[in-house]
Amino acid sequence: MRLQAVKGTQDILPRDQAAWLSVSAAAKEVLEAAGAGALTTPIFEYTDVFEKSVGDSADLVVQKEMYTFEDRGGRNLTLRPEFTAGVMRAFIEHGMHTLPQPVKLWSQGPLFRAENVQRGRYRQFHQVNFETIGLDGPLADAEAIELLYRTLRRCGLTRHRIKLGSVGDPEDRQAYNAYLRAELAGIAHELSPVSQERLRLNPMRVLDSKDANDQRLIAGLQRPLDRLGPPARAHLAKVEEYLGAWGVPFDLEPAIVRGLDYYRRTAFEAHYEGIGAQSALGGGGRYDGLIEMLGGPSLPGTGWAFGVERVIDAMAQEPDREAGEAPRPDLFLVPLDDDAVDEAAALAMSLRRAGRWVEFAYQRRNPGKGLRDADRSRARFAAVRGAEERQRRAWQLKDLTSGAQLEVVETDLAAALDERLSKNA
RNA sequence: GUGGGUGUAGCUCAGCUGGUUAGAGCACCGGAUUGUGGUUCCGGGUGUCGUGGGUUCAAAUCCCAUCAUCCACCCCA
């Protein structure tokens, strides 16, 4: 069998690295300026870490999509399918509740879910994640949303939208589910099979149905937002107020839904049209109670994550993205005889130590070939050395843009190159 | 898990009503050019036609299976 990357995984080639690094740099810049510390956790954890965090809502899907395995010591391990659980485990394990509160943490790296692959959805994918732990007011939620919005902005996106909603408090959700069951009981048989199943397991999800007939049937029903209890309603109003004051554009989403039980109140997503069916760049919300579920102190939290692949996909859709020119080597050395090969190598090492990007031909070349090699390397300058130059302890330094060439004594080469590079820059 | 599209050179693709030796452009390598590049010209195919099986005198082409990939459903912690 021909060796190939596993289904749903991909190589990030040199030509794509700039985009990846720019996302990383944007996240670091924006999040650390808000006081977030970088946290790197292992990519696998005891399976318990994830199972405890999903709790009762351990949807079969969630379980099924985890990469779980037993290691040689018989440990039951899982490749992380999300960041939050591992971050909370580390928070607890390192006693971060004793740090000045709140604690803000950001992470990035690969995650693993055994999903069926399509555009914007892979089995190994990458996210940038942010959490604020220890604050339960709406201000923390609003700040997190602002940071999500601005991090995406810093990545160069201009057309992303924040959808804001609330899943309410647990009692609101119970009440709303009861309401849905009551309202839909009589017409359940008219719903699509998928929606009938949802009605049994998690009625709120019926609202997500893409079936036109389902949508018609539920059109007249109240949305979760219509039935929030007073505390959750006040909380959401305050988040809206902050975002408005800070100039973060958002759309109120009357039926935002979360798959996991630990979410409460604020929920939000960032969307971008034009990147296929997976238009969600990322999302998050408030998860009071999660830390306690994992055996830690009772602390509230709020956080989000976005998918790096999807953001890069969106970046490519931006009309005015600057076509950043790829970096080029400073100098390419052309040895005209065998001795010059070693001399070129030695010179390259010395110039590289001084921080310049220097390449050289690994075999003796004739001038025509050597300069063609230099061209193909995209270097700005070339330097040629043969027997004649050796006698004079010099190199022929050639500007590959203008064609201008002059002989430079080898001890002066670094300075001569530096001078010309700074002139062009 | 379900449905549909697509797999031919490193890349983008043509060839597919079965028929000599499987092609193009780009890329790549060599030469024209043994002391001066980019352009140009010449030469080189670098391929298990995704894989396995079947039909046939004959399969890149038709059939089945399988794998991969893309799009969508589903789901999205």
d(CA A384, CA A371): 9
Q: What is the predicted pLDDT for the residue at A60?
A: 47
Q: How far is the CA of A114 from the C1' of B54 (A)?
A: 34
Using C1' positions and the CA of A123, the closest nucleotide is: B76
Alpha-carbon distances of A139 from A130, A134, A243, A291, A296, rounded to whole Å: 15, 12, 10, 20, 23
Edge-to-edge order in the sheet of strand A381-385: A358-360, A331-335, A381-385, A394-399, A405-409
DSSP structure class, residue A121: B
Q: How many CB atoms lie within 10 A of CB A37?
A: 13
Q: Are A344 and A374 in contact (CB under 8 A)?
A: no
Q: Which residues 6+ apart lie within 8 Å of A26 measured at CB?
A: A151, A154, A155
CA of residue A12 to C1' of nucleotide B22, angstroms: 33
State the nearest residue by CA to the C1' of B31.
Answer: A369
Residue nearest to nucleotide B71 (CA to C1'): A118
Give the nucleotide nearest to A4 (CA→C1'). Answer: B68
Mean pLDDT, each 10-residue run in order, chain A (425 residues): 76 85 95 97 93 63 77 92 94 95 95 87 93 95 97 93 91 87 82 77 77 78 87 95 96 80 89 83 91 91 94 84 73 92 94 93 88 90 93 94 91 94 75
**pLDDT computed for residue A242 by the predictor:** 97
Q: Are the C-beta atoms of A87 and A131 separated by less than 8 Å?
A: yes
Q: What is the pTM of this model?
A: 0.89
* ipTM of this predicted structure: 0.81
**SS3 state of residue A368:** helix
Residue with tokens 């991090």: A151
CA→C1' distance for A404 and B20 (Å): 56
pLDDT for A186 equals 81
CA of A15 to C1' of B27 (A): 15
Q: Which nucleotides in chain B have some atom under 7 angstroms from a protein Cβ?
A: 1-2, 28-29, 31, 33-38, 48, 50, 67-77
Q: Which nucleotide minimizes the distance between its C1' and the CA of A391? A: B35
Residues 6+ positions from A322 with CB-CB distance below 8 Å: none
Residue A416's alpha-carbon distances to A148, A355, A406, A409, in angstroms, are 47, 15, 10, 10
How far is the C-alpha of A107 from the C-alpha of A89, rounded, in Å? 14
CA of A4, C1' of B12: distance in angstroms: 21
Q: How many angstroms is C1' of B22 away from CA of A5?
A: 28
